[in-house]
Amino acid sequence: MDTVLVTGGTGHLGTDLVSRLKGSYRVRVLARSPASDSDVEWIRGDLATGAGIAEAVAGSQTVIHAATLSPAARRGYFVPKDLWSSPSSVDRDGTARLLDQAGIAGVTHLIYVSIVGIDKPRVPYLRRKLEAEYLIRQGPVPWSIARAAQFHWLVDRMFGKMARLPMVPLPDMGVEPVDTTDFADYLVESIGKGPSGRLADFGGPEVLTFAQAFDQWQDIREHFVRTMRVPLPSAARDAVTAMSVTGPGSRRGKITWADWLRSHPPE
C-alpha cells in the first residue's frame, strides 16, 4: 500500500480523512501532539518550525496538506486585528517548508485543502491561503488544489458565539455549508486520480441565505435570540457571497446543514 501523509490530521477534517484512508493506505500524520491511534504512524513535528517534516515526507507517495492556522476560526469570531494581519507560519511558510522537503523526498502528489472564493482575498487569512496556492503551483511537487466552502462545524461555532450578543445582525448574503465527511470522501477520491491541478470546488447540498442558516440553527439548538436583517449594497453582497458559495461545475456534498445540526451536539 502507498503511504499517505496528512498534515492537520488531528483537526475536524483531518480526523475524517484519517478514518477514510485507513485500510486502503498506510496513513502517516504530522502533528504537534500525536494521538493514540495505533493504525496511524504519528510523526511529532510542526510546520511552523519545520520540525519533523523531513521524516514525515520520507517514503510518502501522497501528501494531503490540510493544516491551517486561522485565529478567527479557532475563537469563532473576528476581532479588528483579523482585518489587517494573520499568521503566515503555517499556511505560507509551513507550506514552503513542506514543499521543499517533499520535493527532496520524491513525493508524487500533493493535495492542498483551500477555500472557495479566495482569488480576490479581502482578509489577511485568505491571502495566506492564496499565497500557499501560489507556492504549490510553482513548486517541485505535482499537485491538486481542492477548495471547499465553509464547514458545518465552523458555522456552528460562529453562530454559537454570535448568539451571545444582545442582537444578532444577519447580513444579506448566501452561504453553502459543507460537511467535512463529504469533503474528506472527495479528497480520498482525488488520490486515485493523481495530480489534477485545480479541482472542482466543493460545496454543500444547498445554498442558504445567512438568515435561513441562522434560523435553522436557532430552531435546532433551541437557542433563541433577537436578530436584525442587514441589507448589503449589491456589490458588497455579491463579493461576500462569492467567498462563501461555489460556482458552476462544483461538486456537492450530501449532508445538509439541518441534518448535521441534528446529529452533532453543541461544542
pLDDT at residue 178, rounded to an integer: 97
Model pLDDT for residues 135-191, shown as the tens digit of each residue: 999 999 999 999 999 999 999 999 999 999 999 999 988 999 999 999 999 999 999
Quote the CA–CA distance of 7 and 68 in Å, as a whole number.
Answer: 9
Cβ atoms < 10 Å from Cβ of 248: 6
Contact present, 175 and 244 (Cβ < 8 Å): yes
> Can you read off the three cell numbers belonging to residue 218?
436557532
Give me the residue label for grid cell 479581502.
122
pLDDT at residue 243, rounded to an integer: 74
Q: What's phi and psi for 163, nearest 5 deg?
A: -70, -10
Contact present, 18 and 29 (Cβ < 8 Å): yes
Rounded to two decimals, the pTM is 0.95
Model pLDDT for residues 66-80, shown as the tens digit of each residue: 999 999 999 998 888
Give me the residue label for grid cell 444582545.
166
Contact present, 63 and 99 (Cβ < 8 Å): no
What is the fold, at CATH topology level, of the domain defined by 3-262? Rossmann fold (3.40.50)
The residue extents of the domains of the chain are 3-262
Q: For the chain, where are the E strands, in sequence order?
A: 3-7, 26-31, 40-44, 62-65, 109-115, 143-148, 167-171, 174-175, 197-198, 202-203, 208-209, 226-230, 251-252
10-residue stretch averages of pLDDT, the chain, 267 residues long? 96 97 97 94 97 98 97 90 93 98 98 93 91 98 97 96 94 94 98 97 96 97 94 77 86 98 93
> Can you read off the three cell numbers belonging to residue 229?
436583517
pLDDT at residue 131, rounded to an integer: 97
pLDDT at residue 156, rounded to an integer: 97
pLDDT at residue 242, rounded to an integer: 77
Burial of 133 per CB tally in 10 Å (0-12, 13-18, 19+): buried
Cβ atoms < 10 Å from Cβ of 155: 26
